[in-house]
Amino acid sequence: MANVKTLMLKAPGTNCDVETTFAFEQAGAQVESAHINELLRRQKLLSNYQIMVIPGGFTYGDDISAGKILANEVRLKLGEDIQRFVEDGGLVLGICNGFQVLVKAGILSKSADGGPPQLSLAGNDSGKFESRWVYLSANPTSPCIFTQGITTMYLPVAHGEGKVVGEPKILDELNVVLYYADETGNIQAGYPYNPNGSANSIAGICDDSGRVFALMPHPERFVRWTQHPRWTREPRREYGDGFRVFRNAVEWVKNA
């Protein structure tokens, strides 16, 4: 496939779409932005794309709870379209606020008998907004397409509600893709390595197909090596750790 068409979904308060667009374009994708109202009015059709992205930000000011209003719009007005998109082989990526949206919309959370999602994201244990770089350990058994070949990453986080919470049974059933860890790979290191107190140190999850992926850290903020906080003091690398997430997605679509 010559062009990998990626849809960057926006709503009032989205603010990481430019960086995420750049990352996908560097990976070889063709990116188009769309306000959610353009999809609701059928001015743009999800079926015309191969990848859909919900980038970071504070959609609708994170009123009620982070990502909740956009999640309701997605669930009630686009749920069937997204389900069909995934069934047809599309990829979905949610970053930070996008993670919150995908979980609270029920796309990446378990529900009982059609009831409300039994997984959510809550306020950080620290009681404050956490903006720091974190070490991540990838689950080698994960089916996630976006993280194939990745073992560790070092990425920034920036959120006030990133703590994954849920019933133990639900947490045990999750396809965990990424764990918060320390520099040695210990996923039980605690704060500040786990910046929000997330259950089981969960930093990213995916669906059973591995084609719907959401994470709290920001891979789009570490695409170039010069974005690393110690780039002048460590051996130079061609790309930042986050770039592999976007390249994996684009290459998978090209080869599908």
103: left (phi over 0), alpha (psi -120 to 50) or beta: alpha
* Annotation marks residue 144 as catalytic: no
Amino acid at 83: Q
Compute the radius of gyration of the chain from its Cα atoms: 17
Instruction: Answer whether 95's CB lies under 8 Å from 67's CB.
Output: no
Instruction: Answer whether 12's CB lies under 8 Å from 60's CB.
Output: yes
* Annotation marks residue 35 as catalytic: no
Active-site entry in 19, 130, 161, 220: 220
How many other CB atoms are there within 10 angstroms of residue 195's CB atom? 24
The residue whose two tokens read 């684009």 is 250
How many other CB atoms are there within 10 angstroms of residue 205's CB atom? 27
Instruction: Answer whether 128's CB lies under 8 Å from 160's CB.
Output: yes
Active-site entry in 73, 130, 144, 218: 218
* Annotation marks residue 32 as catalytic: no
Active-site entry in 16, 96, 144, 206: 96
Strand ranges in the chain using DSSP code E only, listed in sequence order: 4-10, 29-35, 51-54, 91-95, 119-122, 130-138, 152-159, 163-166, 175-181, 202-206, 212-215
Identify the helix (H) or strand (E) that includes residue 250.
helix 243-255
The catalytic residues are: 96, 218, 220
